[in-house]
Amino acid sequence: MRRFLRLGAVVTAFGLTLAGCGSSTTEAPADGGGLGTAESPVSIRVIANDAFAKQWQDQLVPEFAKKHPNIKVTVDGVPYNDQLAKSMLELTSPTATYDVILGDDPWFPQLAKTGGLVDLKTDLAKFTDAGYAWDDFNPSPLAAGQWDGHQYGVPVRSNLLLMFYNRELYKKAKVAEPTSETTWEQYFADAPKLVQDTDGDGKPDAWAVGTYFTKDPLTPTIWQTVLNSNGGRLLDDDLKVSFDDDAGVKALQTQIDLLKYAPPGASTYQFNEPLEAFRQGKVATMFMWGSVYKGTAIDKATTTLSEDQVGITTLPAGSAGPGAHRGIWSAGVAKKSAHQAAAWTFLQWVTSKEGEQWVGANLGTFPARDSTLQGTPPAPWLKPVYEAITKGYEAISKGQMWRPRLPESDAVQQILALQTSRAMSGQAPAKDAVHQAAVDISALLKSKGYAQ
Partner 1 sequence: MAPALVLLAGMLLYPIIYTVWVSLSDFDLSTFQPSGWVGWKNYEAVLADPGFLQSLKVTGVYLVVALPLQMVLGFGLAFLLNVEWRGRGLLRALFLIPMVVAPVVAGGVWRMLLDPLWGVVNYALGLVGVGPVEWIGDPTLAMVSLILIDTWRWTPFVVLIASAGIMALPSDVYEAARSDGANRWQTLRHVTVPLLVPVVAAAFVVRWLGAVKMFDIALAATKGGPGQATDVVNLYIYEKGFRGLEFGSASSMATVVLLITMIITYFLFRISRRLENRW
Residues that bind partner 1 (CB under 8 A): 6-7, 10-11, 14-15, 18, 22, 81-82, 84-85, 88-89, 91-92, 110, 113-115, 214-217, 263-268, 270, 273, 276-277, 282, 407-408, 410-411, 414, 418, 421-422, 424-428, 447
Q: Which residues pair with 72 in a beta bridge?
A: 43
Q: Name the residue nearer to partner 1 (CB basis): 25 or 122.
A: 25
* Closest C-alpha to 402, from 411, 393, 389: 393
Q: Residue 356 in 3-state DSSP?
A: helix
Residue pair 278/288 in contact (Cβ under 8 Å)? The answer is yes
Gap between the Cα atoms of 14 and 26, Å rounded: 23
Q: Name the residue nearer to partner 1 (CB basis): 359 or 424.
A: 424
Q: Name the residue nearer to partner 1 (CB basis): 18 or 38.
A: 18
Gap between the Cα atoms of 407 and 110, Å rounded: 4
* Closest C-alpha to 41, from 33, 49, 29, 31: 33
Q: Name the residue nearer to partner 1 (CB basis): 369 or 422.
A: 422
Report the nearest approach of partner 1 to the CB of residue 428 (Å). Answer: 7
Q: Name the residue nearer to partner 1 (CB basis): 131 or 264.
A: 264
Gap between the Cα atoms of 275 and 66, Å rounded: 35
Q: Name the residue nearer to partner 1 (CB basis): 283 or 310.
A: 283
Report the nearest approach of partner 1 to the CB of residue 25 (Å). Answer: 11
Q: Name the residue nearer to partner 1 (CB basis): 83 or 372.
A: 83
Read off φ and ψ for residue 375, nearest 5 degrees.
Answer: -85, -170
Report the nearest approach of partner 1 to the CB of residue 414 (Å). Answer: 5
Planar angle of CA 259, 262, 263, nearest 5 degrees: 130
Report the nearest approach of partner 1 to the CB of residue 215 (Å). Answer: 3
Report the nearest approach of partner 1 to the CB of residue 134 (Å). Answer: 27
Report the nearest approach of partner 1 to the CB of residue 239 (Å). Answer: 17
166 sits in which H/E element: strand 160-166
Report the nearest approach of partner 1 to the CB of residue 409 (Å). Answer: 10
Residue pair 443/149 in contact (Cβ under 8 Å)? The answer is no
Gap between the Cα atoms of 311 and 284, Å rounded: 10
- Count Cα atoms within 13 angstroms, Cβ side, for 262: 24
Contacts of 443 (CB under 8 A, 6+ apart): 452
